């Protein structure tokens, strides 16, 4: 048995799926906060890869303070225009000099941001609809040294912090997540009028689920109000269909409920994101590491996106606890819900958290004793293998928001 401080205990509350009221939210990839998360994380991956290429080790950096300042537009059926550009400022720290090698951190960041935006938010014309700048300082002396050691060693935690993960997702959570994901991929490929800024709110009271979608519609692909109304109706039907695949509960779908057709007050945009019209954004203000905002569940305030995946313990533990929870419910039967919490101690190896704590709601016919050892073993194994997670983050294999 390992030397790790792993505790598994019963949850002593109802599984979220069984609670009376549940609230879930997801901000889509084009939401101003998500744009910041996405750019920050993409920049982070690019920096990590360049550091590995150039000096063989990931140097200190964090790019998690990216800030978006909204622009303004004049939307119009058939195609409006951007009247004031959106500004995106990538803020953070990154080591520029190592052993005689200069790493062009700001250039790397700008290229990564341009690439990300070009792929994910292609409606924004880079350099005119959105201006991206970067200000990467250098960290304090202490921080710069952290990674001076050989990459083989287990890094030390940079802070006293914690991460938390849950599994499985509830029906409402899966509906909310799928709604945004599928609208922004499958559905959008046939419906170019759907912007990337899709915000989905799920509320369940008992067995009634309300799904509320706020979707920024793109003016160039809508010729008039009738087309807009048709598009909203089709989206509602699509989401309803989608939800019914995921639940037997009763589902009601609302799309752009704040619209007032009489007044002509509708959610029409030129670029498909509310960033064009006064909605600012920043990293870490939106979705948690599992892609959702879940007030029924324990959450960490840590911004996961943009953080260094080598020793930033808040990032690593949030991602790892989610991975562990997923793996436990996949491999161990009889679990209705599990929550994994990992608490670090500053300066200690990250594979030895201060405490790794699993709280479990078992199925009614299962006792925790029967499965505790299996759960503990998985937690232990995942912690032993913690640096693999860093590699997957650098490779861009893990979503952070």
Residue numbering of the annotated binding site for ATP: 137-142
CA 369 to chain centre: 34
Residue closer to a second copy by CB (options 142, 245) is 142
Minimum distance from CB of 21 to a second copy (Å)?
5
CA dihedral of 26, 30, 33, 37, whole degrees rounded to 10: 100
Minimum distance from CB of 183 to a second copy (Å)?
17
Which listed range, 224-232, 237-245, 276-284, 380-388, lies at the site for a second copy (CB under 8 A)?
Answer: 276-284
The single residue among 151, 295, 330, 367 that binds a second copy, judged by CB under 8 A, is 295
Pairing of strands 208-218, 194-205: antiparallel
Token pair of 167 as six digits: 């599994």
Token pair of 140 as six digits: 């304090």
- Is the dihedral angle over the CA atoms 14, 18, 20, 26 positive or is it negative? positive
Minimum distance from CB of 137 to a second copy (Å)?
6
Q: Give the C-alpha separation, 192 to 271, whole Å.
A: 11
Token pair of 48 as six digits: 């990590």
Which listed range, 227-235, 239-247, 338-346, 380-388, lies at the site for a second copy (CB under 8 A)?
Answer: 338-346
DSSP labels, 294-314: -TTS-------TTB-TTT-HH
> What character string, x for contact with a second copy (CB under 8 A) and - otherwise, covers 309-328?
--------------------
DSSP labels, 209-229: EEEEEEEEEEGGG--SHHHHH
Are the C-beta atoms of residues 61 and 95 closer than 8 Å to each other?
yes
Residues 6+ apart with CB under 8 A from 147: 57, 58, 59, 60, 155, 310, 311
Minimum distance from CB of 391 to a second copy (Å)?
26
The single residue among 170, 172, 282, 387 that binds a second copy, judged by CB under 8 A, is 282
Minimum distance from CB of 292 to a second copy (Å)?
10
> What character string, x for contact with a second copy (CB under 8 A) and - otherwise, covers 210-229?
--x-x---------------
Q: Total number of residues binding a second copy (CB under 8 A)?
A: 88
Applying the rule CB under 8 A, the residues between 53 and 82 that interact with a second copy are: 62, 65, 67, 69-70, 72, 74, 81-82
Are the C-beta atoms of residues 238 and 230 closer than 8 Å to each other?
no
The single residue among 4, 49, 114, 236 that binds a second copy, judged by CB under 8 A, is 114
- Residue 51 engages a second copy in binding (rule: CB under 8 A): no
Among 246, 172, 257, residue whose Cα is nearest residue 209: 172
Residue closer to a second copy by CB (options 134, 398) is 134
Residue closer to a second copy by CB (options 239, 388) is 239
Minimum distance from CB of 381 to a second copy (Å)?
22
Applying the rule CB under 8 A, the residues between 118 and 177 that interact with a second copy are: 126-129, 131-135, 137-140, 142-143, 160, 162, 164
- Residue 296 engages a second copy in binding (rule: CB under 8 A): yes
Residue closer to a second copy by CB (options 21, 226) is 21
- Residue 355 engages a second copy in binding (rule: CB under 8 A): yes
Q: Give the C-alpha separation, 118 to 94, whole Å.
A: 24
Residues annotated in a binding site? 137-142
- Is the dihedral angle over the CA atoms 112, 183, 285, 354 positive or is it negative? negative
Residue closer to a second copy by CB (options 19, 367) is 19
């Amino acid at each position: 048995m390992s030397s790790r401080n792993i505790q598994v205990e019963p949850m002593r509350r109802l599984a979220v799926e069984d609670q009376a009221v549940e609230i879930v939210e997801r901000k889509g990839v084009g939401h101003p906060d998500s744009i910041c998360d996405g750019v920050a994380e993409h920049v982070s991956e690019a920096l990590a890869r360049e550091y590995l290429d150039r000096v063989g080790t990931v140097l200190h950096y964090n790019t998690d303070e990216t800030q978006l300042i909204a622009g303004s537009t004049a939307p119009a059926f058939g195609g409006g225009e951007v009247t004031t550009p959106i500004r995106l400022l990538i803020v953070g720290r990154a080591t520029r000099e190592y052993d005689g090698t200069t790493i062009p951190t700001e250039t790397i960041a700008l290229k990564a941001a341009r690439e990300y935006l070009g792929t994910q938010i292609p409606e924004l014309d880079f350099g005119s609809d959105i201006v991206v700048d970067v200000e990467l300082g250098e960290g304090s002396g202490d921080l710069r040294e952290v990674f001076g050691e050989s990459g083989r060693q287990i890094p030390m935690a940079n802070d006293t912090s914690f991460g938390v993960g849950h599994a499985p997702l509830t029906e409402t959570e899966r509906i909310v997540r799928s709604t945004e994901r599928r609208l922004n991929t499958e559905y959008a490929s046939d419906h170019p009028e759907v912007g990337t800024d899709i915000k989905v709110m799920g509320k369940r009271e008992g067995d009634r689920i309300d799904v509320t979608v706020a979707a920024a519609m793109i003016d160039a692909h809508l010729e008039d109000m009738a087309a807009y109304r048709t598009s909203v109706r089709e989206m509602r039907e699509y989401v309803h269909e989608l939800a019914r695949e995921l639940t037997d509960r009763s589902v009601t779908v609302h799309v752009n409920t704040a619209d007032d057709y009489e007044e002509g007050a509708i959610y029409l945009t030129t670029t498909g994101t509310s960033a064009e019209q006064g909605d600012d954004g920043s990293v870490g203000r939106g979705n948690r590491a599992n892609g959702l905002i879940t007030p029924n569940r324990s959450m960490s305030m840590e911004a996961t996106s943009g953080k260094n995946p080598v020793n930033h313990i808040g990032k690593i533990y949030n991602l790892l606890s989610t991975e562990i929870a997923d793996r436990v419910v996949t491999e161990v039967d009889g679990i209705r819900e599990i929550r994994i919490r990992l608490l670090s101690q500053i300066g200690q190896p990250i594979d030895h958290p201060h405490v790794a704590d699993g709280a479990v709601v078992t199925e009614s016919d299962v006792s925790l004793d029967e499965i505790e050892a299996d759960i503990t073993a998985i937690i232990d194994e995942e912690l032993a293998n913690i640096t693999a997670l860093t590699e997957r983050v650098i490779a861009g294999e893990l979503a952070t928001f």
